[in-house]
Chain A
Amino acid sequence: MTVMQHIWIVLGVLFVFLNIAAGLIWVERRLLALWQDRLGPNRAGPLGLFIVLADTLKLFFKEDWIPPFADKWVFILAPAIVVASVLMGIAIIPFAPGIVVADLNVGLMFFLAMSSLGVYSIVLGGWASNNKYSLLGALRGASQMIAYEVFMGLSLMGVVMLSKSFNLTDIVNAQKGLWFVVTQPIGFVVFFIAGLAETHRLPFDIPEAESELIAGFHSEYSGMKFGMFFIGEYLGISLISAMTATLFFGGWLGPAFLPPVVWFFLKTFLFIGLFILLRASLPRPRYDQLMGYGWKLLLPLVLLNLLVTGAIALWLRS
């Protein structure tokens, strides 16, 4: 692959994912509205699509205020971290054979590392805001991320065992016969739940928790800095959806009548829809329920899954 080709792929992935993240503003509002028997934004432009433009312009022109009591540089740094770490995570996703920004042989580890780095934006943002609600949100976010990061990694080890590789292209190729959602159903469910917690989306949005903490760790943020948290959240949704599609639903694999990239994005959008459906349907658990659920139910479950998968893999080899 030439350097030029590589640059084009990097730019293309950036362009597509940033546009998806922005477009999700519209997708989420329309889908939520439809599930609540409303119509949602349908005035600006065809089907209301220009709401994205209007929202972005609005965010750009809003006052970008740094509170005088805030820790200025950390306050500015925090929203950048979330977007940067999620975009780094997107780098290892294979969209189609050959279309991947970084074909790392430790791709999965890199993804887990990058999604863990995202917690810094929450902690630093909450800390730098110097506001008790923000700090509470940051504390919750940190403990939630630590708890769910553990078995997010563990839930993927079954996939690694079956495909014998950390490289995502290899993992997709190992699903040629059978998708891993069939052989690793528990791994899939646990990974998706952990992904929800990782992106702190609605059933697990206790770091934000509007009804308890105003807006949690980004209470003090405004303008485009808030927009960066917003975009980071939508990028996180896209990343987790893309990873779910790649790891458990055979990535670009699919019947030949559609090109591989189309299959990949179809699957990804299915999971994005699922994310939004979860937001529309499930209430937020209490903080201790969330932690108890993670440590007492999902962790033993995923360890058991690992044990059984390992045993079967050994048995098949002998």
Chain B
Amino acid sequence: MISHLRTMWLVFRHLFQKKVTVQYPEEKVPLYPRWRGRIVLTKDPDGGERCVGCYLCAAACPVDCIALQATENEEGRRYPEFFRINFSRCIFCGYCEEACPTYAIQLIPDFEMAEYNRQDLVYEKEDLLIDSQGKYPGYNFYNVAGLDAGVKEKGKGEDEETPVDIKSLLP
């Protein structure tokens, strides 16, 4: 009986405690930088697309919501011809971000993407591409890659030695 009364008193005291409710549309939930929300495609420091159209994200996606078609420009730089994410399928697992070798695809802290029309949840490349470097500022894939795709010449990248002439006998 005493424990019952004590329980009632303890519950009653909760009347004056701080409420945990977040009144959502007016108050926002704090979202942290690594929160996995809307998917974006980021850009290089010099404004080029980071995506090289390697299909690794599409392969990693467990729900097959990513579709893309790779193509090449005249300098030999690969980029996606179209890049489509169906957000009505997406489960925000972040596997695409893990799979991406060029840090192009990234998940950002934003979840307010409700639509009235289901078709509006299919995001095209122009919806996904943002004018930002995302979580990796200063990173440019072609600076560390061996390939000459118009960003730098062969042998001029970071930690890259000049090419060796394999046909020559000179050291």
Contact = CB atoms under 8 A, between A and B. Distances in A.
Interface of A: 34-39, 277-278, 280-282
B8 A37 contact: no
B4 A37 contact: no
Contacts of A36: 14
Given A281-B7, A282-B7, A39 B12 contact: no
A282 B9 CA distance: 11
A189 B10 CA distance: 20
Q: When A and B form their complex, which 5 residue pairs have the shortest distance between CB atoms, in order from nearest?
A: A281-B11, A39-B21, A281-B8, A281-B7, A35-B14
Interface of B: 4, 7-8, 10-12, 14-15, 17-21, 23
7 contacts: A36-B14, A37-B20, A38-B20, A39-B21, A277-B12, A281-B10, A282-B4
Main secondary structure of the interface of A (DSSP, over half): helix
Given A281-B7, A282-B4, A38 B12 contact: no
A34 B16 CA distance: 8
Contact of A34 (B4, B8, B10, B14): B14
B86 to A, nearest CB: 32
Contact of A277 (B11, B17, B20): B11
Contacts of B18: 37
A39 B19 contact: yes
A281 B7 CA distance: 6
A37 B20 CA distance: 6
Contacts of A39: 19, 21, 23
Nearest to A31: B15
Contacts of A38: 19-21
Contacts of B7: 281-282
Contacts of A278: 8
Contacts of A280: 11
Contacts of B15: 34-35
A278 B20 CA distance: 22
A181 B20 CA distance: 38
A39 B22 CA distance: 9
Contacts of B19: 34, 37-39
B17 A37 contact: yes
Nearest to A278: B8
B14 A277 contact: no
A284 to B, nearest CB: 13
Contacts of A34: 14-15, 19
A263 to B, nearest CB: 23
Nearest to B21: A39
B41 to A, nearest CB: 38
A162 to B, nearest CB: 25
B109 to A, nearest CB: 25
A282 B8 contact: yes
A14 B8 CA distance: 32
Nearest to A297: B1
Contacts of B21: 38-39
A35 B20 contact: no
Nearest to B15: A34
Nearest to B14: A35
A39 B8 CA distance: 19
A196 to B, nearest CB: 12
A280 B20 CA distance: 17
Nearest to B22: A39
Contacts of B12: 35, 277, 281
A38 B18 CA distance: 9
Contacts of B11: 35, 277, 280-281
- Most chain A CB within a 10 A radius of its CB, from B10, B12, B18, B20: B12
B18 to A, nearest CB: 7
Nearest to A274: B8
Nearest to B18: A37
